[in-house]
Structure 1
């Protein structure tokens, strides 16, 4: 069943979602093995490839990380690759970070520098190899090196050049560019599409797997559900539905918010699946979260902190994130948006509990970055716990997804019908109000 119901979400997955070589187009290089060697003073990483690729390696701090950007690569590494570390590397993860670009992120045990980064051509029966060598350094040396590229020896492929993927796409140096969304354009001369826009945000993606409670990582589970909800809403014809991601691509949190704002969305629904750390008991059922400056409970705070680390996991540099605007009008809009978000959350809870099992405390709030659009009502739905066998069984069930998507669609219908009606009434009142002015 997993193969049929989750197939669209499995392409370009990392360790927990391998794709057979036959399912991947021939245009992309294939990585077949990865290994670490060395000790806490010097550590080497080697990636076996079926052809030479350009790449770029650089450092990020807080926490200590090394990021390697490559053209889009099909990762066919052994199960569990990257989950353990050696020497200066605690662990590493890999995956698609944008169309045409892949990324490997290394979590370091302490400050280090990139001593060497190069590609060795295939020779003597050995495959092409990407080699990254790290050396232990002090804090000051590390701080001076943050964001700078590793260099390659003369005569080797230059890893500091901008690596162009097939089709000329260049992987990002520090962060992917703001995501653009394909929007249906009305026929020439036709009226603009005035239907409310609903943005569906399947969490995680690409290099960010989310939680993993079984054979299928969270990023694949929530993408499959997001696609089911999109299809259900589009069948009604009432809405224009935009997905923040419709494939296994990493999208930074800020870009997800900007997509909703750029589309003047009437509603933003972020889809996730939680997991309790091992040894912290069991929990079951769906939970709906809204934005709050202070978390409603300890579990909500834990979850928000975990979800807000997505950009860190993807190796995104957050130094360019804009500061909050301290403005009265902005604050008023934000308060109104939170009121609408809470109203929708209650509607959603009432509809979902008729169709699915809900958490014992189904409504919670915390400081989720992805819910911070000041002008778009937003909720984050945790469909269940991948750490719970019953919830995991639901998450991979096509019948459960269909039933839950129907319940969510009913809530969206009720919520947006009221908002559209109110907006129409306000427009109708404006001419009369204008005439009444002296």
Structure 2
């Protein structure tokens, strides 16, 4: 694929509840190809997807199983599709999602009703008043034919269209887009920067790019939590006491393990993941913020449901989840994990006490579950569900700049309380033991 270079910055508007001010989100954009419309046609035997563009692009398409999906990788595209595009389906496609998976790379993921093959994948040049179009044609196949199309060696059929490759996933996982080796997460200093001894706080707005998160109305979770994460970042940076690192500062997909890796590589003193939950319609109503810490056993059924949903986030972008890192069977590592969980629980309690003065909390505000994004063994970590996008009052809060500012202020106070005590403890240890290295 071809990647473009050079960027400019503009503000991207986030729609909010009626009567509320709009949120301005910074986004990295340039003269990327623009996708202006998308449509599905056909039936359960043959289905066509058409994406209108303002210029031709190169792309790659491949199929995935468990569940059945088709993935289309493109160079970075500015998606200006109609509201609600992809939430409904037709024929072989149940729904589709789209967005960034990394700077320079976009992805469209189609959820299928069953096994299918890519019968045709091409880009049509502008002609007869029609713009350039990416056309994907799918055909229903049986399970045996689908398995055969994957190929014993993982090599699928190659397209004859110049610049277009149609492949199948390998047995160990799908093809992936690799970021440039010089890419750094947002706010990470380059290697030759002067040392910064301030505690590092990592803010992790959940989801992003092709992963929309929950979406009970027109505003996807990924936009809501990014707006809040940027507000919290600005509040912490104003103190000058911390170096704040964002796992994402724009609409980019970041795999779960990479979010954890950012925190560990930065020797973070604290990791705060920001989300917004939604209850299925049949499960009643819930309201208020909830703070989660890591546990091998979920504190209740709702916590288990949420952790399972969040841990599957990588599968949205076709990331292989089978190769989990092996725990190091060493007693010292186990002790570090135990200590880290103690610190995480301590911060969660501080956070609860400060947040209750700024916003409504869930009836059980402290919970635990096996979230993958909280599994850094040496970084105190919490996951904050700001509220429920399925609740009208919570959504009004999430769309309010005043609420975001007030709640971010409360969270910043908890960060101050937590890190002030840890910094003081670390300073005391260094004074008693010259040359000793403070714990992260």
Secondary structure (helix, strand or coil) at the match of 2:365 reads strand
CA offsets, 1:178-228, max 9 Å, x none?
97224246997x5x2111100000111111111123332211111111111
In the alignment, the residues of structure 2 paired with residue 323 and residue 88 of structure 1 have an alpha-carbon distance, to the nearest angstrom, of 38
Q: Is the 8 A contact 1:199 1:267 kept in 2?
A: yes
In the alignment, the residues of structure 1 paired with residue 434 and residue 257 of structure 2 have an alpha-carbon distance, to the nearest angstrom, of 39
1:370 equivalent in structure 2:
373
Within 5 Å, give how 1:206-225 maps onto structure 2.
206-225=209-228
Secondary structure (helix, strand or coil) at the match of 1:213 reads coil
Tell me by how many angstroms 1:113 deviates: 2.0
Q: Is the 8 A contact 1:291 1:379 kept in 2?
A: yes
Tell me by how many angstroms 1:60 deviates: 1.8
Within 5 Å, give how 1:7-46 maps onto structure 2.
7-8=24-25, 25=30, 27-46=31-50
2:127 equivalent in structure 1:
123
2:86 equivalent in structure 1:
82
2:354 equivalent in structure 1:
351
Within 5 Å, give how 1:259-298 maps onto structure 2.
259-298=262-301
2:201 equivalent in structure 1:
198
1:399 equivalent in structure 2:
402
1:152 aligns with 2:159: yes
In the alignment, the residues of structure 2 paired with residue 44 and residue 432 of structure 1 have an alpha-carbon distance, to the nearest angstrom, of 66
CA offsets, 1:111-138, max 9 Å, x none?
2222221111122222212111222333
Tell me by how many angstroms 1:44 deviates: 2.0
In the alignment, the residues of structure 2 paired with residue 394 and residue 401 of structure 1 have an alpha-carbon distance, to the nearest angstrom, of 7
The correspondence for 2:63, drawn from 54, 59, 63, is 59
Q: Is the 8 A contact 2:311 2:372 kept in 1?
A: yes
2:117 equivalent in structure 1:
113
Higher deviation after alignment, 284-293 or 211-220? 211-220
In the alignment, the residues of structure 1 paired with residue 119 and residue 435 of structure 2 have an alpha-carbon distance, to the nearest angstrom, of 73
Distance 1:432 1:405, change over 3 A: closer
Higher deviation after alignment, 288-297 or 29-38? 29-38
1:21 equivalent in structure 2:
none
Secondary structure (helix, strand or coil) at the match of 1:242 reads strand
In the alignment, the residues of structure 2 paired with residue 426 and residue 396 of structure 1 have an alpha-carbon distance, to the nearest angstrom, of 44
Q: Is the 8 A contact 2:95 2:111 kept in 1?
A: yes
1:426 equivalent in structure 2:
429
Q: Give 5+ residue unaligned stretches, structure 2.
A: 1-14, 168-173
In the alignment, the residues of structure 2 paired with residue 432 and residue 234 of structure 1 have an alpha-carbon distance, to the nearest angstrom, of 29
Tell me by how many angstroms 1:76 deviates: 2.1
Tell me by how many angstroms 1:358 deviates: 0.8
CA offsets, 1:279-303, max 9 Å, x none?
3211111110001111101111111
The correspondence for 1:300, drawn from 300, 303, 308, is 303
In the alignment, the residues of structure 1 paired with residue 221 and residue 434 of structure 2 have an alpha-carbon distance, to the nearest angstrom, of 51
Output the TM-score relative to the length of structure 2: 0.86
Tell me by how many angstroms 1:323 deviates: 3.1
Distance 1:214 1:110, change over 3 A: closer
1:132 equivalent in structure 2:
136
Secondary structure (helix, strand or coil) at the match of 2:283 reads coil
Tell me by how many angstroms 1:314 deviates: 2.1
In the alignment, the residues of structure 2 paired with residue 385 and residue 421 of structure 1 have an alpha-carbon distance, to the nearest angstrom, of 37
In the alignment of these two chains, the number of paired residues is: 407
1:6 equivalent in structure 2:
23
Secondary structure (helix, strand or coil) at the match of 1:201 reads strand
Q: Is the 8 A contact 1:180 1:259 kept in 2?
A: no
Q: Is the 8 A contact 1:58 1:150 kept in 2?
A: no
2:5 equivalent in structure 1:
none
